[in-house]
Structure 1
Amino acid sequence: MADDFRVLIVDDDFHVAKLHAAYVDSVAGFLALAPVGTASLALQAIHSLRPDLVLLDVYLPDASGLDLLQQLDVDTVMLSAASDTASVRVAFRRGALGYLLKPFTADALSQQLRSYARYRRLLAQPGALDQESLERAKRSLIPGDVTPSAKPRSATEAAVLDSLEPGQQYSAAEVAARVGVSRATAQRYLSSLADDGAVDIQLRYGTTGRPEHRYGLPVA
């Protein structure tokens, strides 16, 4: 889909990179670009493809991923087996938004990506940020650390949330029909609820292969 976050995976192990690309493609709102295996190819791909997010390994054959990181002007999350504290400190000092230690599960990467999506949506809101909004955006980058907004919900937002039944998933069009609003309105409120962690987003492929976003209440 045109509004998907485009993700470039930089990993010299082809099989691992392919697996991680499959993980990315399974997350609603994300699209994996063709992985690359070297720092030089990563620079070329970033220049030509303009990804929204780079998933970067530390160990690359032609350079350290940590050295590459400081050259990048793109959001980056480290995916690496480098577990020493020095590498982790350098990664965050040089601007990494997250750090996942290999091996990790599809769910762990999914949570990291969904946290990134919340972060991007929070920073895409019009107007200047206040301190509370800035702190919410920072917290949203930490999987599982989303704190519901303290602001009261509007009547429409509450109706959208109330329309979701536990254990069920709905499309934006189905939610719109249940609430009695337009699909665009339902989509907007569902995205806001996802930002607060009140709603989960999943991806389902139909018979045509076109992915559909499905919304539901988080599993306790």
Structure 2
Amino acid sequence: MIRVLVVDDDVRVAHNHHKLVETLDGFESVGMAHTARNALEMVEELRPDLVLLDIYLPDESGVTVLRRLRGAAHALDVLVITAMRDAETVQASMQTGAVHYLLKPFPFSELRDRLQRYAEARSALDSVTEAEQSDVDRVYGLLRAQETTAAPASLPKGLSQVTAQLVVDTLRAADTDLSAVELGSRAGLSRVSARRYLDHLATIGTVELRMRYGSAGRPEHRYRWVGEHGSPRTR
């Protein structure tokens, strides 16, 4: 069984995640924490295999908790679940070893998918004594987002992979079209920066660009996620 500790300042959200974990074969929710201090105490006491960690906590940042967990007495993994979309927090979480970074709000199917992928990755490692490159590739592939959710691997000069993934995740989570201003506000980016990434994604076909015409002034650019099966567009 994969023992899971749920950490979220919102009691209702923590309970919902706890219930979801309990529905999955091979998983057991061993507890819920609502503060950073409580989370660190429960990790030491319960020794979970996986922590579902919110970044926003009332007493301390989840990023700080994540860094402290790297020095825990036993090995464990962390799946970040948060509404914080700024590139700095995303990058800090990745650099500190989070296996996933899931942005709120999301359908439960998204969390279920990531937990199942995590279980598959653990199982893949348990089945070998000495890993070949193909084993490593498979494990890391399972731990990363699905192909249709990933930011493009090749980016123009001046664009970063971390910020591109943030833009992709923000647009997908919106489930509607957004302007560069709206996306920038949600992701913690300037309008100009958001527009650069959105225009690139529109060029390669993963984002659809629509023009909204008002009663006066220039038309507004609206962007909608269409996934990897979109086609390149010219504007």
The bucket for the TM-score relative to the shorter chain is: 0.5 to 0.7
The alignment partner of 2:17 has SS state of helix
Q: Is residue 31 of structure 1 aligned with residue 28 of structure 2?
A: yes
Question: Displacement, 1:144?
Answer: 3.6
Question: Displacement, 1:142?
Answer: 2.5
Distance 2:93 2:6 in 1: 16
> Which among 103, 106, 111 is matched to residue 104 of structure 1?
106
What amino acid sits opposite 2:126 in the alignment?
A
Report if aligned partners of 2:35, 2:59 keep a CA contact under 8 Å in 1.
Answer: yes
**Pairing 1:3-14 to 2, within 5 Å after superposition:** 4-14=1-11
**Pairing 1:12-161 to 2, within 5 Å after superposition:** 12-73=9-70, 74-145=76-147
Distance 1:105 1:21 in 2: 15
What amino acid sits opposite 1:99 in the alignment?
Y
What amino acid sits opposite 1:105 in the alignment?
P
Question: Displacement, 1:42?
Answer: 0.8
**Pairing 1:180-219 to 2, within 5 Å after superposition:** none
Structure (1 or 2) with the larger CA radius of gyration: 2
Distance 2:47 2:29 in 1: 12
List structure 1 segments (4+ residues) > 4 angstroms apart after TM superposition: none
Distance 2:108 2:134 in 1: 31
Corresponding pairs, count: 142
What amino acid sits opposite 1:91 in the alignment?
S
Distance 2:106 2:25 in 1: 19
**Percent sequence identity over matched residues?**
39
Distance 1:25 1:40 in 2: 24
Question: Displacement, 1:33?
Answer: 1.9
Question: Displacement, 1:126?
Answer: 3.5
TM-score, normalised to structure 2, is: 0.58
1:112-149, Cα deviation, whole Å (9 max, x unpaired): 0000001101111231111111111100112545xxxx
What amino acid sits opposite 2:65 in the alignment?
L
Distance 1:84 1:75 in 2: 22
Distance 2:125 2:91 in 1: 25
Q: Which has the higher contact order (CA 8 A, sep 6+)?
A: 1
Report if aligned partners of 1:115, 1:143 keep a CA contact under 8 Å in 2.
Answer: no
The alignment partner of 2:9 has SS state of coil
Unpaired runs of at least 5, structure 2: 71-75, 148-235
Distance 2:17 2:87 in 1: 24
Distance 1:126 1:107 in 2: 29
Aligned partner of 2:156 in structure 1 is none
TM-score, normalised to structure 1, is: 0.62
Unpaired runs of at least 5, structure 1: 146-220
Question: Displacement, 1:106?
Answer: 1.3
CA RMSD of superposed structures (Å): 1.2
Distance 1:139 1:21 in 2: 26
Report if aligned partners of 1:21, 1:35 keep a CA contact under 8 Å in 2.
Answer: yes
